[in-house]
A and B are shown apart, each in its own frame.
Chain A
Amino acid sequence: MSQSYNRGLIEDFGRWKEFSAGMWAWIFHKFTGWILIGYLFTHIAVLSTSIGAAGNEAAIANETDVYTTTLGGLEGLFLIRLLEVGLLAVAVFHILNGLRLLMVDLGIGLEAQDKSFYASLVLTGAITVASVPTFLTGVGI
């Protein structure tokens, strides 16, 4: 028969302004999930310095072992402090939206799914802002 025209994925990211709450929740959940997985690998890398530090009691007591100096060096960087705030925001949103998805899976409050998404955003913002003083104390810029 006659040909037809495939418009491709025309509704996708180019139309982000028209996305609904549920769509944004989905995108943010995927995005924060990937960030958390990425963080886990850097986390393992940092923690693995403790293997080199293990056993050297004197260095640990003096706080000159590899693990302590690595962590101390990282925590001295302003960028790392900022990233920590970001990590908290990402983790909190992922947790809260995860709870929201759990409710959705259980069939509870599906008609309020957009409100629960906005609530998890607001709560994430509040917790993140509240965490800033803690994360940025004594930062040697």
Chain B
Amino acid sequence: MSTQQAEPETQEAPEDPEMKGAESPAAEEQKGGGMVDDHAEKKAELEGETVHLKVFRYDPEVEGKQEPRFDDFHVPFEKGMTVLDSVMYARDEYDSSLTFRHSCRQAVCGSDAFFVNGKQRLGCKTQISDLEQPVRIEPLPHQEVVKDLVVDMDHFYDQMHTVEPYFQDEDTPPVDDLDEQRQSPENREKIKMSSRCIWCGACMSSCNIAAGDNEYLGPAAINKAYKFAMDDREGEEIKEHRLRILEQEHGVWRCQTQFSCTEVCPKDIPLTEHIQELKREAVKKNLKFW
């Protein structure tokens, strides 16, 4: 049943007119552990429903993949199959060099955000059956591609750290005899959605402004700042400090409410809403009536 179908063709590599479909399979086989034999014969063996994947390939260290191209994979469809399942199948059965990040497979670790059929999605949270075929899987846009579906997340993490994404409070307020920092249920409810962020980077990748302005904090970092700025347990002083970071030129004011981030967030965080609320907070902080 497991059918060798690594039949890499040059689907979309306009930058590289020399990359011929006939050449790439050979390069692919050597890299992929030489499991591929007769494509045509094995293709005929494919039974049942299959999923047609078009996967972005790039590897600076392998000749033939230095110019990006799209490889085709046909993997057997199973009920409940996710995009992550399908690329894992392609990697395990057809081409072991196919590279992507993944870990928990349940939308918690935030490793496998891909650009699937023109939208940033979590591979493990996206059902194949919800997608039109061929399923086009690319690395996240607006980030440098390291290899295949792996992008360089350094800039994203830098922006996240800029907003000091950790709880800060100098002293623990004494509540009766308990050394606890208590949060009211209402306040917990307020920051609930913002605390769901898994740092997958889908929002940042979808943001047009972040694409054009590398210094823009981006939706994820601002949302992270929101989580702490709105937390009642942090003092006024630290909240002001947070707003000073956010209200700068490349902070909240860069957001132009395109709602792209909110559309793609796999954890359904109302990112635009949070950014807008911080804009109002920043205005309130600076409004003076004299």
In the docked arrangement, what's the CA distance between A26 and B48, Å? 45
Interfacial chain A residues near B211, Cβ < 8 Å: 9, 11-12
In the complex, whether A113 has a CB less than 8 A from a CB of chain B is: yes
- Interface SS majority for chain B: mixed
Q: Mark A15-58, 1 if CB is under 8 A from B, else 0.
A: 10110111101100000000000000000000000000000000
Q: Find out whether the CB atom of B276 lies under 8 angstroms from the CB atom of A5.
A: no
- Nearest CB to that of B152 among chain A residues? A4
- Nearest CB to that of A30 among chain B residues? B256
Q: A12-B208, A20-B263 are in contact. Are A105 and B141 (CB under 8 A)?
A: no
Q: Find out whether the CB atom of B273 lies under 8 angstroms from the CB atom of A10.
A: no
Q: Which of A42-98 contact B (CB under 8 A)?
A: none
Interfacial chain B residues near A26, Cβ < 8 Å: 208, 256-258
In the complex, whether B3 has a CB less than 8 A from a CB of chain A is: no
In the complex, whether B259 has a CB less than 8 A from a CB of chain A is: yes
Interface residues of B (CB under 8 A from A): 58, 60-61, 68, 115, 118-119, 139, 141-142, 144-146, 152, 205-206, 208, 211-212, 256-260, 262-263, 270, 272-273, 276-277, 279-280
Interface residues of A (CB under 8 A from B): 2-7, 9-12, 15, 17-18, 20-23, 25-26, 101, 104-107, 110-111, 113-114
Q: A2-B61, A12-B211 are in contact. Are A20 and B259 (CB under 8 A)?
A: yes
Q: Find out whether the CB atom of A4 lies under 8 angstroms from the CB atom of B146.
A: yes
Interfacial chain B residues near A12, Cβ < 8 Å: 208, 211
Interfacial chain B residues near A107, Cβ < 8 Å: 273, 276-277, 280
Measured CB to CB, the closest approach of chain A to B34, in angstroms, equals 24
- Interface SS majority for chain A: helix
Measured CB to CB, the closest approach of chain B to A14, in angstroms, equals 10
- Nearest CB to that of B67 among chain A residues? A5
Interfacial chain A residues near B141, Cβ < 8 Å: 7, 10-11
Measured CB to CB, the closest approach of chain A to B117, in angstroms, equals 8
Q: Find out whether the CB atom of B144 lies under 8 angstroms from the CB atom of A23.
A: no
In the docked arrangement, what's the CA distance between A11 and B210, Å? 12
Q: A11-B211, A107-B273 are in contact. Are A5 and B259 (CB under 8 A)?
A: no
Interfacial chain B residues near A110, Cβ < 8 Å: 270, 272-273, 276
Interfacial chain B residues near A11, Cβ < 8 Å: 115, 141-142, 205-206, 208, 211
Q: Find out whether the CB atom of A5 lies under 8 angstroms from the CB atom of B260.
A: no
Q: Find out whether the CB atom of A105 lies under 8 angstroms from the CB atom of B60.
A: no
Q: Find out whether the CB atom of A23 lies under 8 angstroms from the CB atom of B277.
A: no
Q: Find out whether the CB atom of A4 lies under 8 angstroms from the CB atom of B257.
A: no
Q: Find out whether the CB atom of A21 lies under 8 angstroms from the CB atom of B259.
A: yes
